[in-house]
């Protein structure tokens, strides 16, 4: 892959639910090693964008490229195999399965059991609490622990790109700081991240670049630290 190929490139992406349009043709890209954030209020189309990228939702128009390869019409399980992990909004832990089973399923496409064990150990090093709760049903964890499990499960795929949908949702401010630090370390370890957030302050503090989505269109974009100073963003998303 030549260096100037973005890790993910979205071109004119449109999506609808029945007759209701949710995305009106958006384009953006994420380069290797970046954290890029997608901001917007409720119903702006952030989750829809991620669902259309990861294959859960068939876009009605537009194209998505991952590492230069078109993935627009691929089923989600094929897209994961290529190194793109989508952590859906609301964590979606398999609640009757144990913490260990949840993590193992994160590496479902992997055939090599030794490699699975290595990845498990890395996740347990990162989140020691998960190794303590290994045999417990996922649904019995606290909200913050479930978020760590969701991230851990995503990491089990050893993804090149992580799509994170509101990892701070429903989590106490103190734990949000933990999550922020986790995202930072993931980034330092070389994972590229597309971060969807309503918590614009947190997201822009982390991100290299940001896009602001409003009713299915990108209305603003720019370098993270600059968006943070932008009057419109401050007004709309930071309660300024």
Query: Which residues of the shown chain bind ligand ATP in the complex (CB under 6 A)?
Result: 17, 20, 22, 40, 42-48, 89, 198
CB of 169 to ligand ATP, least distance (A): 8
CB of 7 to another protein, least distance (A): 18
Shortest CA distance to 88 belongs to which of 147, 132, 133? 147
What is the four-CA torsion angle of 5, 36, 211, 62, rounded to 10 degrees? Answer: 40
Structure tokens at 51: 């669902």
Contacts of 201 (CB under 8 A, 6+ apart): 228, 238
Nearer to ligand ATP, 131 or 198 (CB): 198
**Closest-approach residue to Mg ion (CB):** 47
> What is the spatial distance between Cα 216 and Cα 1, in angstroms, rounded to a whole number?
31
Nearer to Mg ion, 39 or 161 (CB): 39
Nearer to Mg ion, 38 or 186 (CB): 38
Helix (H, G, I), strand (E, B) or coil at 20: strand
- Cβ–Cβ under 8 Å, residues 8 and 64: yes
> Tokens 């150990």 identify what position?
121
- Cβ–Cβ under 8 Å, residues 92 and 150: yes
**Contacting residue, 27, 73, 108, 185, with another protein by CB under 8 A:** 108
Binding mask 57-86 for another protein (x = CB under 8 A): ------------------xxx--xx---xx
- What residues between 121 and 160 interact with another protein by CB under 8 A? 139, 153, 157
Helix (H, G, I), strand (E, B) or coil at 61: strand
Nearer to ligand ATP, 41 or 136 (CB): 41
* Binding residues for another protein (CB under 8 A): 54-56, 75-77, 80-81, 85-86, 88, 92, 94-97, 101, 104-106, 108-109, 139, 153, 157
Question: Which residues form the interface with Mg ion (CB under 5 A)?
Answer: 47, 89
């Amino acid at each position: 892959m030549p260096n100037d190929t973005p890790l993910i490139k979205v071109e004119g992406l449109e999506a609808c639910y029945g007759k209701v349009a949710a995305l009106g043709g958006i384009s953006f890209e994420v380069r290797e090693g970046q954290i890029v954030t997608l901001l917007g209020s409720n119903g702006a189309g952030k989750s829809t964008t991620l669902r259309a990228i990861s294959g859960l939702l068939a876009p009605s128009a537009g194209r998505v490229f991952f590492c230069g390869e078109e993935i627009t019409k691929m089923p989600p399980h094929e897209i994961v195999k290529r190194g793109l992990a989508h952590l859906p909004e609301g964590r979606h832990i398999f609640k009757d399965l144990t913490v260990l089973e949840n993590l193992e399923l994160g590496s479902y496409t992997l055939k090599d059991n030794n490699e699975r064990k290595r990845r498990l150990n890395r996740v347990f090093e990162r989140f020691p609490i998960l190794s303590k709760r290994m045999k417990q049903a996922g649904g019995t964890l606290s909200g913050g622990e479930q978020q760590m499990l969701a991230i851990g499960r995503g990491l089990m795929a050893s993804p090149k790109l992580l799509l994170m949908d509101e990892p701070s949702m429903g989590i106490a401010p103190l734990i949000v700081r933990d999550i922020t630090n986790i995202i930072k370390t993931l980034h330092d370890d070389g994972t590229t991240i597309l971060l969807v957030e309503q918590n614009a302050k947190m997201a822009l503090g982390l991100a290299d670049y940001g896009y602001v989505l409003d009713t299915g269109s990108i209305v603003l974009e720019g370098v993270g630290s600059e968006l943070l100073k932008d009057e419109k963003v401050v007004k709309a998303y930071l309660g300024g």
